[in-house]
């Protein structure tokens, strides 16, 4: 796994953090987080283009790419308070779905075994299967819970005559035993799929799925509180899998299967930050950013900020802070409250 760099475009790292090479452990031995790209879109059921997602999320930012990002709400600079490095992209061919899955799983397992937290930039959601499996290989099969943000359940059985694709990774994960169904939590589902047969299968696995109508009626924070309690019960860590189509396409148009009526970008960013602060995150992916369908880099910027919010939450958790989302930035009395 020598460093490939970026498969598409210039070899830049996430906002200027140091590069690393996965077959040279010395380059990430002291890392807290290793970012890796999975530029795969061979599993899409509708619009392709997510192979360009990793490059877009690394580069889309109007600030200097200097490896520093002070967070106003969290009072941390996650890219400096944590040791964050970027391993570049995993080399893969979109026409080889099994080979790509195997390559991603090996890369993620290597990162997890080093003690670092892998953050995977996708790519379509097919990559959740190797991402989560790679982490489970280190922490123990069935010992990590998953909080999955998505408009779609991704629990189909066979699509286009194939067992793998971006609509099927969650079923394959549960079938393999990498994750328990009763510790698999989905946030933001909506629309007109899955069908009743698939929902019955999900119910048999004891999955907990929060559809948008429930989230709107009960309130997002109440649903998140409940999901966190389940995720922490009898598990050793939590994996966050974030499909940008959980956000309403008015705020995230650059994705392959947009579904109206989702979360706002503000709701998602706040929630990701909170989860990273309050939970023992052992891995994360951000998927389905499709630059060919984006406008003014809206969705790529959202993907970039999802990663930054998660890192800022992790850094504040590492520092031992208390959660104070209502704390003023400046108190109006000439005092900065950091």
- What pLDDT digit, counting tens, does each position of 133-175 carry? 999 999 999 999 999 999 999 999 977 667 688 888 999 999 9
The pLDDT assigned to 167 comes to 83
* Order of strands across the sheet that contains 237-243: 18-19, 84-89, 33-38, 117-122, 281-287, 237-243, 144-149, 184-189, 208-211
pTM value is 0.96
Report pLDDT for 42.
Answer: 87
The alpha carbon torsion through 229, 230, 235, 241 (nearest 10 deg) reads -100
- Give me the mean pLDDT over the 59-80 stretch: 96
Instruction: Please tell me whether residue 10 adopts helix, strand or coil conformation.
Output: coil
pLDDT at 338: 60
User: Are the C-beta atoms of residues 20 and 105 closer than 8 Å to each other?
Assistant: no
Check whether 107 has a pLDDT greater than 90.
yes
Give the mean model confidence (pLDDT) for residues 265-294: 98
Average pLDDT of span 242-251: 98
pLDDT of residue 158: 78
**Residue 247 β-bridge partners:** 263
């Amino acid at each position: 796994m020598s460093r490939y760099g970026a498969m598409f475009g210039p070899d830049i790292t996430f906002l200027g953090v140091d590069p690393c090479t996965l077959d040279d452990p010395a380059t990430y031995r002291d890392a807290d987080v290793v970012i890796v790209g999975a530029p795969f879109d061979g599993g899409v059921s509708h619009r392709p283009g997510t192979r360009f997602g990793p490059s877009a999320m690394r580069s889309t930012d109007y600030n200097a790419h200097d490896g520093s990002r002070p967070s106003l709400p969290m009072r941390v600079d996650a890219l400096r308070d944590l040791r964050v490095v970027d391993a570049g992209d995993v080399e893969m061919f979109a026409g080889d779905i099994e080979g790509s899955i195997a390559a991603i799983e090996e890369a993620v397992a290597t990162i997890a075994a080093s003690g670092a937290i892998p953050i995977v930039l996708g790519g379509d959601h097919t990559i959740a299967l190797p991402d989560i499996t790679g982490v489970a290989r280190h922490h123990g099969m069935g010992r990590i819970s998953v909080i999955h943000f998505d408009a779609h359940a991704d629990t189909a059985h066979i699509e286009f005559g194939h067992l793998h694709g971006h609509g099927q990774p969650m079923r394959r994960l549960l079938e393999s035993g990498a994750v328990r169904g009763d510790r698999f939590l989905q946030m933001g589902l909506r629309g007109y799929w899955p069908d009743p047969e698939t929902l019955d299968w999900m119910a048999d696995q004891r999955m907990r799925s929060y559809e948008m109508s429930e989230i709107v009626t009960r309130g997002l924070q109440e649903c998140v509180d409940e999901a966190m309690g389940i995720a922490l019960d009898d598990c050793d860590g939590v994996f966050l899998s974030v499909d940008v189509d959980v956000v309403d396409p008015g705020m995230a148009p650059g994705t392959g299967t947009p579904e109206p009526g989702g979360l706002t970008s503000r709701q998602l960013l706040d929630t990701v930050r909170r989860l990273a602060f309050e939970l023992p995150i052992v891995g994360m992916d951000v998927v389905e950013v499709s630059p060919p369908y984006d406008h003014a880099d809206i969705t790529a910027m959202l993907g970039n900020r999802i990663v930054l919010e998660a890192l800022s939450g992790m850094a504040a958790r590492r520092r031992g802070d208390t959660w104070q989302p209502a704390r003023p930035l400046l108190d109006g009395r000439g005092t900065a409250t950091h």
